Structure 1
Amino acid sequence: MSRRPDRELRRGWTTGACATAALKAALMALWGPGRTDRVTIILPRGESADFAIDALEVGEGWATATIIKDAGDDPDVTHGARISTRVEPGGEGIRFRAGTGVGTVTRPGLPIPPGEPAINPVPRQMMEDVLRDMAAAHGRALDAEITVSVAEGAALARKTWNPRLGIEGGLSILGTTGIVRPFSCAAWIASIHRGVDVARAAGLARVAGCTGATSEAVVQKMYALPDHAMLDMGDFAGGLLKYISAHPVPHVTIGGGIGKVCKLAQGAADLHSGRSQVDFDALARAFDAPELRDMRTALEVLAHLGPRFGDWVARMALAEVRRRLPPEVGADVVVIDRSGVVVGRA
C-alpha cells in the first residue's frame, strides 16, 4: 500500500505554460504597457497562473523574455530550466521556430508533422491566443515569428523519451492543461501513446513494452529491434495494452522481471509495488505447494520451484495480454531474473 504524503504536494507549470507567459511578457515590453516583473496568463481550462520574469531583452522590433520553470513537487527533468520566448512581429501569419534546446520532429506519428519544431498543439494554441489578445488590444497585425528556447535543453532531452520518438536536438514544449500535477501518471501514459503512434506510422512489425532497463536491453537484443520500437511501458502494462487494443500493431512483446510479470499474470494492470502485489496464496494453490505462502518475493519462488515457475508466469501473463488485445495483434512474453537471464518465454 502506498504511503500518503505528509503534506499536500505543490503543483507546477508545464513548459508550454512557461513559454506562453514568456511570450506575453515579451509582447508587453514591445507593445505596452512596458517591462514587467510578473505576468498572468489563462490556462486552457480557464484557470489563471502567475509567473515571475527572470530576464527580459528588448531590441529593434523584437523582445525575448525568460522564465525559470517551476515543476512544483514533481520530479520533472525540466524543473529549474530557463525557458525563453522571442517574438518578432511582422511577416505573414504566425510562425513557430525551434530555438536552442528545443527539438525538431523527424518521424511521423506525433501530433506535429516532421520538420516542425517540437512545440505541441496546445502550447501553440496558448501562444496564439496570447498573441491574438495582445494584437487586438494594441491595434497590431496578427503576424509574428515566435521562437522558443530552453537553456541546456539538448542535454536535458537525453533524459527523456524524445530521441526514441524521433525528436532531435532538444526538448518538446508540452502541456495540455498548463499544470504539472505531482507524480501524475498522465505524462508517462501520454509518452506510451506517442511511442505507439510513432511505431505505427513507421510500419514496424513488432514493438516491445518492458518494465525496466534490464528487460528492455534483453528484448531489444533478442529481436534486433530499433530504438523507436521500444515503448517505455514501465509499470503501466494496462495502459500500453489498452492503447494498442484501440490502435493495433502487428505484434507486441512484453518483457519484464519475474516479480512484475507475475503480477501481470495474476491480472494486475498497474505493476507498481505500491499498487499491486504478488498473491502468494494464489501461487500456493496453483502449484499445490503450501510453503509458497510464506515466501516474500517471486525470485524466492523461482529459486524454490525452478524453471517451471518462470514458464508458468510467462504463459499466464501471455493469456492476460491476449485477453486485453484484439485477435489480430500477435503477442509474446519474455521473463527475466535480476541479472537479465531469461527464465520464461511464451
Structure 2
Amino acid sequence: MAERAGLREGFTTGTAAAAAAKAATLVLFGRPADTFPALMDVPLPGTGRLTVPVAEATVRPDGHVRAVTVKDGGDDPDVTHMARIGCTVSLDDALSAGEVGIEGGAGVGRVTLPGLPVPVGRPAINPGPMAQIRAAVIEALPEPPPARGVSVIVDVEDGEGLAGRTMNPRLGIVGGVSILGTSGIVRPFSHESWRAAIAEALDVARAMGARHVVLSTGRRSERAARRLLPGLADQAFVQMADYFSFSLSQAALRGFEEITLCAYPGKLVKMGMGLSNTHADIEATDFQRLATWCREAGLPSDLAGAVAKANTVRHAFGLVRPHPRFPALAALLVQKALVHAGSFTTAALGLIALDFDDSLLPPEAQTRGPDLEGRLGRGKFLGKEGVPGD
C-alpha cells in the first residue's frame, strides 16, 4: 500500500469484500482455486482501482466458492484490522442473467434501528461498498453472462466478537461488524502525523498566497465546498477530519483572514457541543442537549423528546426535518458551531452546512445570526444556491 505523511495506507472492509467476491466469482467460472493466494485488482467506490491480496479460495462440495481477504488497516488500524473477510459466490435461479444479489452472512451485522444509510432489516453493508462489491463481481463474469444471476454472501470471521468493540451495539447493528468504506482506502488520520499534515497543508496554502482557507471534515464535504467556492485555489481546501479546534487554531496562527467550515449534521452537532475533537470515539453525541436545542428553536416538546431518544443524528434529523421549525433548528446549530469556532480565531468565519443528501441545509442555517454580528465581522455564509450572502 501507499504511504502518506510517513504512514502506510490500508484498505476498507468494503474493498476486502470486493476482492474476495471477485476472486470467488473467477473460480466459480473456471479459474483454478489453487492459484490463490494472489493479488486481485478491484474497483474503488466512485473512481480508481486498488490491488488487494486474496488469501485463499475454496470450492465447496455444493459447487459454491468462498474466497477470503485479510483486511489491512495500514497504520490506522481499527478492530477489523487483520479480520478475515470472506465472500461465498454461487449461481442463483432467482436472479436473472448478469444480476448480482448481495447478502450478509455470519459476522456481518444487521440493522435494527433507523438513522443509518442502510434500511432496518438489511445487512450492515453501506451503499458504497455494496456497489463496489457488485462492480467487482460483474468484472469477473464471463461474456456473455450466464442465464442465471450470481449470489454473493459476505461474512466476517468472528465478526460478532469484533462488533462488541465497536459502536455497532449502540447503533442497533446486531450480530456482527459493518462493511464500510467511502473511498475504499484507509488513509491514516488518527495519529500525530495527521495533525502535522493539516499544519503542512495550511503552510502550503499560506505560501501560495491564500487568505481564505476552507476546512472540511472529509473528502465528501470538501467536494461540496469546491462546488460552492469554485474561485478558490486547490491549496485553499484542507481536510481537518475530526481535528476541529486544532485546525482552527493552526489557521489562526498562520493569519488567514477568512475561514470557512464545511460539515454534515453529525459533525455540526459535535461542533455546537463545543468539542475540540469530533471523532465518535472521543465523545458521543449528546442527544439530550440536541433535544434542548430543538425546544429553543420552537419545536414541540413531544418531538424534542423523540430526538432525545434518537439513535443517530441522521435519525434525529429524519424526525424533525418535516416540521416547519426545522430551518430554525438548523440555523441554531450553525450559530452554536460558529460561536465555538470563534473561540479559536479572530478571522471572519463562514460555515457551509450540508444535509445528509449533499444538499445545503435550509437557507436560514446559512445566514448570520444576530447574536454573532459583532463576532463574525465580514464572515460569509452561503445561501441556497451557494452564493455568498452579505
TM-score range, shorter chain: 0.5 to 0.7
Distance 1:116 1:6 in 2: 35
Task: Give, in whole Å, the separation in 2 of the partners of 1:46 and 1:218.
Answer: 36
Does residue 83 in structure 1 map to residue 54 in structure 2?
no
Within 5 Å, which residues of 2 pair with 1:1-346? Answer: 8-35=6-33, 36-38=36-38, 39-59=40-60, 60-93=62-95, 94-137=100-143, 139-141=145-147, 143-183=149-189, 186=218, 225-226=308-309, 228=311, 265=340, 267=342
Change (3 A) 1:153 1:46: same
CA apart distance, 1:228: 2.1
> Cα–Cα, structure 1 residues 247 and 181, in superposed 2: closer, same or farther, change >3 Å?
farther
* Distance (Å, rounded) in 2 between the aligned partners of 1:267 and 1:11: 34
Post-superposition CA distance 1:199-224 (Å, at most 9, x none): 9xxxxxxx978668897699869989
Contact in 1 for aligned 2:113/2:311 (Cα 8 Å): no
Asked if 1 retains the 8 angstrom alpha-carbon contact of 2:106 and 2:155, the reply is yes
Rg larger in 1 or in 2?
1
What secondary structure sits across from 2:65 in the alignment?
strand
Alpha-carbon distance between aligned partners in 1 of 2:89 and 2:186, rounded to the nearest angstrom = 25
Is the 1:96–1:117 contact (alpha carbons within 8 Å) kept by the matching residues of 2? no
**What secondary structure sits across from 1:20 in the alignment?**
helix
In the alignment, which residue of structure 2 is the partner of 1:333?
Answer: none
Distance of 1:108 and 1:219 partners within structure 2: 15
C-alpha contact (below 8 Å) 2:124/2:177 kept by paired residues = yes
Alpha-carbon distance change, 29 to 10 in structure 1, aligned in 2, over 3 angstroms:
same
Change in CA separation of 1:135 and 1:169 when aligned onto 2, cut-off 3 Å: same
Taking the aligned partners of 1:133 and 1:219, their CA distance within structure 2 comes to 44
Query: Matches of 2:274 and 2:174 in 1, distance apart?
Result: 22
CA spacing shift, 1:25–1:229, aligned 2, 3 Å: closer
**Residues 28, 218 of structure 1: alpha-carbon distance in 2 compared, 3 angstrom cutoff:** closer
In structure 1, what is the equivalent of residue 387 of structure 2? Answer: none
Q: Is the 8 A contact 2:93 2:148 kept in 1?
A: no
- Residue-by-residue CA offset, 1:142-183 (whole Å, 9 max, x unaligned): 612211111222232233332233222221111122111111
Following the alignment from structure 2 to structure 1, what is the Cα–Cα distance between the partners of residues 130 and 285? 36
The 1:141/1:248 distance shift into structure 2, 3 A limit, reads: farther
Q: CA deviation at 1:45?
A: 4.4
Tell me what 2:226 maps to: none
- TM-score after normalising by structure 2: 0.51
Count of residue correspondences: 248
More off after superposition, 20-29 vs 123-132: 123-132
Matches of 1:217 and 1:6 in 2, distance apart?
30
- With over 3 angstroms needed to count, the CA separation of the structure-2 counterparts of 1:52 and 1:247, relative to structure 1, is farther
Aligned-pair CA distance for 1:194: 8.3
- Specify whether residues 9 and 30 from structure 1 end up closer, same or farther in structure 2 by C-alpha distance, changes over 3 A only: same
Shift of 1:91: 2.6
Give identity over the alignment, percent.
Answer: 34
- Deviation at residue 249 of structure 1 after TM alignment: 6.8
Q: Which amino acid aligns with 1:267?
A: G
Distance across 2 between alignment mates of 1:218 and 1:49: 38
